[in-house]
Amino acid sequence: MANVCFLLAGGYEDSEMKNPYDAMNEAGHKTVVVGLEKGTELKGKKGTAAYTSELSISEVKADDYDAVIIPGGSAPEALRVSDEVVEFVKQAHEQGIVIAGICHGPQVMISADILNGVNSTSYIGIRDDVKNAGANFLDQEVVVDGNIITSRTPKDEPAFIKEILNKL
């Protein structure tokens, strides 16, 4: 089974964390919630989900994982300003590890400079940012390009989860 890292900060879109997290666990994969600090309670923006970071970003190495999942909401904005998060995502990409971002999740990919020349999608509010990062923006429920998987909104979660599971 695969080791799956969820990069998380407070203010994430509840279902974009809960549904992929539950699906990975149900499929038998080993999941870990990684935050900026270990042991922090991270609440979703709608208040229907809460997770505690099991490891801090300074404790993890990209090659320990088979996939990195970045839920949307306002959490990616908090994550992308961390040099350690950006370096972790860069290293994961260089190693061909699955990197999946939904909604605002691609903001972290933008900061890691891994979307140049990649087919990608995102929440429409960051569409121009994705394009400016060099990606070919596609308005589709899920876009898979190599090891990168992106989706737009909570309604796209079933397709997003399916493609992550397919890659694993």
Query: Any idea which residues carry the catalytic annotation?
Result: 103-104
Cβ-Cβ contacts under 8 Å for 108 (sequence gap 6 or more):
7, 70, 76, 79, 80, 85, 86, 89, 101
Q: At 127, is the secondary structure helix, strand, or coil? A: helix
Q: At 154, is the secondary structure helix, strand, or coil? A: helix
Residue at 16: amino acid letter: E
List Cα–Cα distances, 90 to 18, 50, 114, in angstroms.
25, 27, 7
Measured between alpha carbons, how far is 125 from 128 in angstroms, rounded to an integer? 8
